[in-house]
Copies of this chain bind each other. A is one copy, B any other.
Amino acid sequence: MKRLVLFLLVAGSAFACAPGAAHDSLMPVLVGLLVILAAAKLGGELALRVGQPAVLGELVVGIAIGGLIHLGVPLPDIAHAPIFEVLASLGVVVLLFEVGLESTVSELLSIGGRATLVATIGVIGAVAGGIGLGMAMLPGHSFVLGLFIGGAVCGTSVGITARVLRDLKQSTTRAAKLILGAAVVDDVLALVVLSLVTGIAIGMAGGHAFDWRLPVRSGLLAIAFLSSALILGPRVSRWIFRISKRMRSPDLLLPIALAFAFGVAAIAGYVQLAPIVGAFAAGLTLDRAEYRTLIDRGEHELEDLIHPVGQVLTPIFFVVMGARVELWRLGHPTVWLLTGALVAVTVVSRLVLGLAAPSGTSKLTVALGMIPRGEVTLIFADVGRRLLVHGTPFLSEDEFSAIVFVVAVTSLMTPPLLRWQLRRVGGA
């Protein structure tokens, strides 16, 4: 113990007297990663002890870290530093790739029609709710603004649901596949809504006619991407692994698989879809039969290789998401009223879409699993704040904050609700 104190003194004095000029860019990253990994494990442990999924604990410690940074505690700013934004995004890309690996294209296509129905109902519900909210609550009874905030809450972020399902070892159930499939579809639909509303707003601002070709092009591009990924992805990966079989280097499987995932995720991003949709598609299209030769040669199974990478990267996403929640903004009544209304729109539209789940699948599981709002919602918030109509931002600061809070509230409410439901029905 005396030596520990001595060590802390030496370490502390080192921190205090040497400003570390030589390794400027790396120091805050190392400290930030240390804080994130330690906090994630402690938060996860506390959540487990009170019977909640670990991911909830990671989000909550993230909120705490964000609060400490706001109060001036000298920690690396994990909520806003670009490096942590990138590492967090890589974390959720790897997570969705892992989840994709657990399914196959044919499994997903077998529920494709139903997933499309479920997603469409959810999007119509959210947009209708948003328009209603806009007419009832927002200044000027704005139809367009309502359409925008409805669109903002129509894309589902499967990161949190995927994590809860994995933690409870239920990511291969029919309900899980329906949720994942529907989340891909509603991402595409959200994209169409975004280009639609942005087009209308730009038309309003410029005084010229609205160009219908914009949303049509986005939609077609997204559909082209998804069909190419699902039809041609397996061929491309087979071709890559055919080359790899002739290579003599050790340790080929993980780098090749990850490069493939990053590539497909990047293409998804270029067609304005969430990169995680691409990562999920990449995981779906990789088939163990193609890389079996590499495993026969002595490499570990891909799941065993990717899991440690995910263990390190995935918590970064959840802690950083938590750290971005700016609790103190809830002081404004408009913010929490609008947040509450949007959460209500989300939950009600989910309960309605759940009704379209096929018999044999728990409707409530599907509804709860599709509650979390995520990157698509944050993209709407970001686009809306930067879009100027007659010199004023399309979204006010309060409207912007409310949309961000919807992400936080839905992210926090899903893990306990979903866990409760899955325990109740035994994962039907």
Q: Which residues of A contact B (CB under 8 A)?
A: 3-4, 6-7, 10-11, 14-15, 17-18, 20-23, 25-27, 29-31, 33-34, 37-38, 40-41, 44-45, 48-49, 54, 82-83, 85-86, 89-90, 93, 221, 224-225, 228, 231-232, 235-236, 239, 247-249, 251-252, 254-256, 258-259, 262-263, 265-267, 269-272, 274-275, 300, 304-306, 308-309, 311-312, 315, 379, 383
Contact = CB atoms under 8 A, between A and B. Distances in A.
Nearest to A54: B249
Given A20-B270, A22-B269, A30-B275, A239 B4 contact: yes
A42 B59 CA distance: 40
Contacts of A29: 86, 89-90
B82 A256 contact: no
Chain A interface SS verdict (over half): helix
Contacts of A263: 30-31, 34
Contacts of A266: 27, 30-31, 34
Contact of A248 (B48, B225, B254): B48
A37 B308 contact: no
Contact of A232 (B3, B272, B305): B3
Contacts of A311: 251, 254-255, 305
Contact of A26 (B54, B269, B315): B269
14 contacts: A6-B228, A7-B236, A11-B228, A18-B272, A23-B274, A27-B270, A30-B266, A34-B259, A38-B255, A41-B249, A41-B256, A83-B83, A255-B315, A309-B309
Nearest to A251: B311
A131 B14 CA distance: 32
A255 B312 contact: yes
Contact of A15 (B251, B270, B379): B270
Contacts of A26: 86, 89-90, 269, 275
A202 to B, nearest CB: 13
Name which of A18, A30, A235, A312 has the most chain B CB atoms within 10 A of its CB. Answer: A30
Contact of A6 (B232, B249, B256): B232
A267 B269 CA distance: 38
A177 B313 CA distance: 32
Contacts of A85: 25
A410 B247 CA distance: 28
Contacts of A41: 247, 249, 252, 255-256
A300 B309 contact: no
A151 to B, nearest CB: 13
B254 A14 contact: no
A27 B269 contact: yes
Nearest to A233: B7
